[in-house]
Each structure stands twice: as C-alpha cells, then as structure tokens.
C-alpha cells in the first residue's frame, strides 16, 4: 500500500477506530448501565467510580510496560503487530464476559481483563505514527487518526441509541475490534529496521521525564483529560437525575438515560469529525499551539450552560460545540507529543508513558463517585454542578500551559 495516501492513513489508524468505538460505548453507555443493573441504586455512582478507578490503575501500568517490551524485544513478525493481534483477541473475550457477567464482581473482573488487553494492544500500536510518519506529515496523520476516532464515536452513538439490547452491543463491539486489528496487521508494514532498545526498564521509564517539553505535554494532556472524564463518567447519571426528560424541541426522543447519553455522544463526535482533519492539517502549517488554544477555550466555555440550563435541547447544542473543540484538540495534541519525542528506539515506551496522562484522570474521576453521591444527597444536583466547574478549570489550565512547551511552535 502506497504511503501518505488517504487510504494508508486510514489503514494506519484503523484500530484506533475500533478502540474509540469500544471505549465510547463501554465508558459512556454499557458499563454504567450494567453497574446500574447489578447494584443498589443508592450506590451506583460509588460502585461505578471504584470500578473505573481500579481499571484506570491497570491502564496506568499497562501502556508503558507493554510499550517497553515492544521496544526492547522485537520479534520476527515486527515490534508492534504481535501485541496488537493478541491484545485484540483478549479484548473480544473481555467484552463478551462483561455482557453476561452475573454479578458486580464478575463484571469487575471482566473489566480488568478488558483494560489489560487494550493496553497490550494499544501500548505498542501507539508507536506506529512516530515510527512510520515523518514530522512534516504528523499533523495530517494525527488528524486522520482523530477523524477515525470521532467517526467511530458517531457510529457507536448511533448504534447505542438504536439498539436497546446491551449484550448485542458488547458482541458487536468485540467483532469490530477483531476486524480492525486484522485490517491493520494485513496492510501496514512496519519499518524494516527493528533495532532493540538497549536501556534497562527503570532507566527507560525515567528517560522521557528528563525532557521538560515531555513533562509539560504530559501535564497539559492530564488537565484536559481530567475535564473530560469528570463529565463523561457521570453524564448518564446527570441526565437521569437532573435532566430527566429527553426531548428536542418539544418532542421526546429517548425514554432511557443510556439512550440519551449515547445520542449526546454521537453529537459530540459529529462535531469532532468536522474539525479533526482540518485542524491537523492546519497545525502542520501554523504550528500546534494556536489550534490547541482555540479548542481548549471552546471546551471550557461550554461547561457553563450545563450548570445553568439542564435542558436536553440546550445540551444538544452544547454537545455539538464541545465536539468541534474536542476533535481539534485530540488531533493536534497527538501530533504535539510525537514532535517532542527524542529517541526513535523508544517510541512505544514513551508514548505508553504519555498515555498515562489519559488514564490518571480516570482514576481521579472514579474515586470522586462517593463525593458526588454525598453532595447530591445534601442538595439534589449540586454534585454534578461541582463536576462541571472542575472540568472547566481543567480545560483552561491544560490549554494555556501548552505555552511552556518550547520545542514546537
């Protein structure tokens, strides 16, 4: 397959499509719904939060470790693809188990398997763009990756809204992961040079932190993802407890909160699909920082209507605007981190460490569940208001601290 064509970019990021589809449905729709089926309603946020937090701890460990193994021990089949193959198979197993878990603790175990399997696949896989794409094309590659991720979310939102059977949603997600992994493995050829990283494990874990630009990129991503996850984790419960009526322009369009949240997720993804590729290409011309500034401010400002107007029609338009900002940010931020990586033999390790900036906010968001339940008992809805305010602050700080990154413009 010829490099740097549209088809090549899409094939390079095909598994990101499946991964985005999977986590959209699992985190926003499937896991909250399954927890609500299996636990006391008064404890649903607490139980969901702890499950997210423990899973995120596993995700914190997995990408750097599997990335290091991928860098350190190349195989005859490549440095990345064998891990993608095994990880996708275990991902499918975890999803099917979650669909039929008979208890909260069985669901808990299945979710841990799913998280570890995803780390096994995506830790090494995240190195493909810095491995195979030259710096001057990385904005475009990241834009296509972002576009595939948000198109996947649109598809997941549509499927989640249209299909009311949770087990079927789990099974469809498992099949899509297997198909996308097979497509990438068959059509993408890794670099002919498969040199092994010579550094030991702990030295490899410490190496990227010696780069101040890496530290700033990690912390800014952490703050933005904190803003995202504190809203995303509990959005279904906010809709059920505060909004309650899911109507657009006077017409009820959903009867269940999990269907309503899937529709909002679809709208967010539609906005992101509009902005991802143009933002990535624009960042190749003007630099990474300006698109990030614009997108971050947009995401922050739309938190205010969530507090003031708990109306589903308002939320529909908020979701669309947020999605435009989110899609631009996701496309450009991936290009930003690949630009500041120093060691070509450590791409998977360094990208795996960078991915912890995504999972640490999940841990924090998860352990906040008990506090949300407490605040909502003191005054209905006040726990959700606190979440939206924290999200706005996270978006703003994560945006403007990008100015501290010196190695890119």
352-403 residue pLDDT tens: 888 788 877 877 877 787 788 888 888 877 888 888 888 899 999 999 898 8
**If pLDDT is split at 50, 70 and 90, which confidence band does 195 have?**
low
Q: What is the pLDDT of residue 9?
A: 85
- The 3-state secondary structure of the chain reads CCCCCHHHHHHHCHHHHHHHHHHHHHHHHHHHHHHHHHCCHHHHHHHHHHHHHHHHHHHHHHHHHHHHHHHHCCECCECCHHHHHHHHHHHHHHHHHHHHCCCHHHHHHHHHHHHHHHHHHHHHHCCHHHHHCCHHHHHHHHHHHHHHHHHHHHHHHHHHHHCCCHHHHHHHHHHHHHHHHHHHHHHCCCCCCCCCCCCCHHHHHHHHHHCHHHHHHHHHHHHHHHHHHHHHCCHHHHHHHHHCCEEECCEEEECCHHHHHHHHHHHHHHHHHHHHHHHHHHHHHHCCHHHHHHHHHHHHHCHHHHHHCCCHHHHHHHHHHHHHHHHHHHHHHHHHHHHHCCCHHHHHHHHHHHHHHHHHHHHHHHHCHHHHHHHHHHCCCHHHHHHHHHHHHHHHHHHHHHHHCCCCC
CA dist., res. 246 & res. 312, Å (int): 6
Is 70 exceeded by the pLDDT of residue 320? yes
**If pLDDT is split at 50, 70 and 90, which confidence band does 17 have?**
very high
**If pLDDT is split at 50, 70 and 90, which confidence band does 196 have?**
low
**If pLDDT is split at 50, 70 and 90, which confidence band does 22 have?**
very high
CA dist., res. 404 & res. 400, Å (int): 8
CA dist., res. 96 & res. 116, Å (int): 15
Tally the C-alpha atoms within 13 A of residue 118's C-alpha that lie toward its C-beta. 27
Percent of the chain with pLDDT over 70: 96
CA dist., res. 21 & res. 169, Å (int): 11
Q: What is the pLDDT of residue 281?
A: 82
Is 60 exceeded by the pLDDT of residue 197? no
Most confident stretch, 99-108, 183-192, 301-310, 326-335: 99-108
Q: What is the pLDDT of residue 344?
A: 67
Is 80 exceeded by the pLDDT of residue 346? no
Predicted model pTM: 0.72
83-110 residue pLDDT tens: 999 999 999 999 999 999 999 999 999 9
Number of CB atoms found within 10 A of residue 54's CB = 17
**If pLDDT is split at 50, 70 and 90, which confidence band does 193 have?**
low
Question: Which residue segments constitute the domains of the chain, with CATH numbers given?
Answer: 6-186+209-404 (1.20.1250.20)
27-47 residue pLDDT tens: 878 888 888 888 877 777 788
Across 19-23, 87-91, 345-349, least confident range = 345-349
Q: What is the dihedral of CA 341, 346, 352, 355, to 10 degrees?
A: 0
Is 80 exceeded by the pLDDT of residue 73? no
Is 70 exceeded by the pLDDT of residue 198? no
Is 60 exceeded by the pLDDT of residue 300? yes
Mean per-residue pLDDT of the chain: 84
Structural contact between residues 304 and 392, judged by C-beta atoms closer than 8 angstroms: yes
Is 90 exceeded by the pLDDT of residue 182? yes
Tally the C-alpha atoms within 13 A of residue 219's C-alpha that lie toward its C-beta. 14
Average pLDDT, integer, range 218-241: 87
Q: What is the pLDDT of residue 100?
A: 93
> 246-248 and 251-254 as β-strands: parallel, antiparallel, unpaired?
antiparallel
Distances (CA, A) of 90 to 83, 111, 174, 365: 11, 11, 10, 26
């Amino acid at each position: 397959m010829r490099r740097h064509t549209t088809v090549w970019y899409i094939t390079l990021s095909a598994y990101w499509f499946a991964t985005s589809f999977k986590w959209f449905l699992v985190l926003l729709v499937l896991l909250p719904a399954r927890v609500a089926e299996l636990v006391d309603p008064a404890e649903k946020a607490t139980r969901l939060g702890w499950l997210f937090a423990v899973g995120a701890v596993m995700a914190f460990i997995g990408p750097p470790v599997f990335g290091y193994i991928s860098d350190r021990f190349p195989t005859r089949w490549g440095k990345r693809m064998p891990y993608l193959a095994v990880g996708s198979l275990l991902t499918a197993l975890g999803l099917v188990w979650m669909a039929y878990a008979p208890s909260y603790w069985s669901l808990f175990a299945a979710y841990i398997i799913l998280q570890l399997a995803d780390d096994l696949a995506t830790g090494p896989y995240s190195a493909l763009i810095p491995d195979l794409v030259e710096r001057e094309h990385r904005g475009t590659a990241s834009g296509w990756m972002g576009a595939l991720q948000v198109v996947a979310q649109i598809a997941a939102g549509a499927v989640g809204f249209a299909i009311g059977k949770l087990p079927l949603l789990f099974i469809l997600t498992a099949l899509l992961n297997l198909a996308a992994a097979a497509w990438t493995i068959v059509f993408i050829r890794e670099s002919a040079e498969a040199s092994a990283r010579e550094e030991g494990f702990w030295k490899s874990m410490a190496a990227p932190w010696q780069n101040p630009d890496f530290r700033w990129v990690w912390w800014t991503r952490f703050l933005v993802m904190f803003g995202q996850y504190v809203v995303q984790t509990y959005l279904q419960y906010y809709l059920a407890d505060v909004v309650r009526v899911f109507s657009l322009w006077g017409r009820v369009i959903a009867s269940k909160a999990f269907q309503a949240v899937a529709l909002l997720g679809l709208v967010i993804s539609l906005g992101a699909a509009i902005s991802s590729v143009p933002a990535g290409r624009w960042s190749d011309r003007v630099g990474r920082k300006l698109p990030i500034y614009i997108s971050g401010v947009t995401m922050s400002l739309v938190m205010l209507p969530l507090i003031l107007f708990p109306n589903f029609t308002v939320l529909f338009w908020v979701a669309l605007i947020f999605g435009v900002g989110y899609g631009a940010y996701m496309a450009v931020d991936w290009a930003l981190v690949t630009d500041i990586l120093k060691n070509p033999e450590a791409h998977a390790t360094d990208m795996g460490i960078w991915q912890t900036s995504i999972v640490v906010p999940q841990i924090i968001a998860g352990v906040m569940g008990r506090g949300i339940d407490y605040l909502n008992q003191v005054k209905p809805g006040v726990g959700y208001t606190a979440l939206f305010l924290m999200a706005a602050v996270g978006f703003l700080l994560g945006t403007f601290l990008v100015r501290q990154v010196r190695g890119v413009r």
